Amino acid sequence: MTDRGASARPARRPTRQQQAITDLLERSEEFVSAQTFHARLRAAGERVGLATVYRTLQSMVEAGTVDVLRGDDGEAAYRACSTDHHHHLVCRSCAKTVEVEGPAVERWTDAVAAEHGFTQVTHTVEIFGTCAECAASTRTR
Amino acid sequence: MTDRGASARPARRPTRQQQAITDLLERSEEFVSAQTFHARLRAAGERVGLATVYRTLQSMVEAGTVDVLRGDDGEAAYRACSTDHHHHLVCRSCAKTVEVEGPAVERWTDAVAAEHGFTQVTHTVEIFGTCAECAASTRTR
DNA sequence: TCCCAGCGTGAGAATGATTGTCAAAACCGA
DNA sequence: TCGGTTTTGACAATCATTCTCACGCTGGGA
């Protein structure tokens, strides 16, 4: 559709705000919502507008350096991720995230799609559960 | 946590509105957003409030007779589905949906989760693509 | 180093889906 | 039909996200 071609994206002009966002992103192990993200930046003394947080995260998603996850309530959560295609195993309780790969799943989705005549296939696979730590603390409670 | 036990759910009292919603739901082949759903009911001459549409769809989701899907924009879409666990192959263009099962995927997710010590595992797997018909018409355009 | 043209920012308004409120209406059993 | 509940629906309230647009900062050229 749109020509998302080669030299097209000129990389945003680097600014203090973007640096702050990138830093915090890299220090976060789990998926964080844009709102929470903004709150943390503010708490850390950074002066960054909410709109900027959204804009920056969004462009990073397009650039492929950040992954998005939609919770049951529809709120988007972000996390720094490698460019490679992979999926996530997320703790329902503490949001701890493990990146996982599943060649078998990739093959399966492609096969299923082809079988029904679908092309330009993409897919989402996310696994939710309770991590060992959270399970332990819940049981103790 | 909460005891979502046996005889708990007393089934809502049947009403004209719920009947209308159920009917339209069963006649829909694809995922439809609550807003669209409401608009269609109105267009069909049914007098149903938006809040009622949301409430009814929600309780059906909890009852397991309806599946939800979150689009990229976070908007929720609904579709009548069998109670059995399954996944969806959805056309990006016309929203036509095919229900698919993937024992392999189920096994894989469980294995991955167990490997990392996660319990109470659930997962989401959705496949998006362009169906044969839409691919054809797009190419022709 | 100074200046200019733009891009990036940010405060607040606008949007749009979803949920809450609460009085009125519908339903069911007696 | 009567009474006690449950459900409904118009509208307000939330809340995340996006839009607006004047202002500041950045980078390159003079």
Q: Find, in chain A, the residue whose alpha carbon is nearest to that of B68.
A: A72
CA-based nearest distance A113→chain B, Å: 7
Residue-wise pLDDT for B54-108, tens only, equals 999 999 999 999 999 998 899 999 999 988 899 999 999 999 999 999 899 999 9
Q: CA-to-C1' distance for B14 and C30, Å? A: 20
Which domains, from first to last, does chain B contain? Answer: 14-83 (1.10.10.10), 84-141 (3.30.1490.190)
Flag whether pLDDT at B8 surpasses 70: no
Q: Does residue A122 belong to the interface with chain B, where contact is any CB pair within 8 Å? A: yes
Q: Does residue B100 belong to the interface with chain A, where contact is any CB pair within 8 Å? A: yes
Flag whether pLDDT at A1 surpasses 60: no
> How far is the C-alpha of B4 from the C-alpha of B105, rounded, in Å?
27
Identify all chain B residues contacting A126, using CB atoms and an 8 Å cutoff. Answer: 123-124
Compute CA distances B40 → A119, B15, B20, B120, B135, whole Å: 30, 18, 11, 38, 27
pTM exceeds cut of 0.95 = no
Which nucleotide is at minimal CA–C1' distance from A49? C10
Closest to B108 (Cβ–Cβ): which among A91, A105, A123?
A105
Strand order in the sheet with B119-130: A97-100, A87-91, A119-130, B119-130, B87-91, B97-100
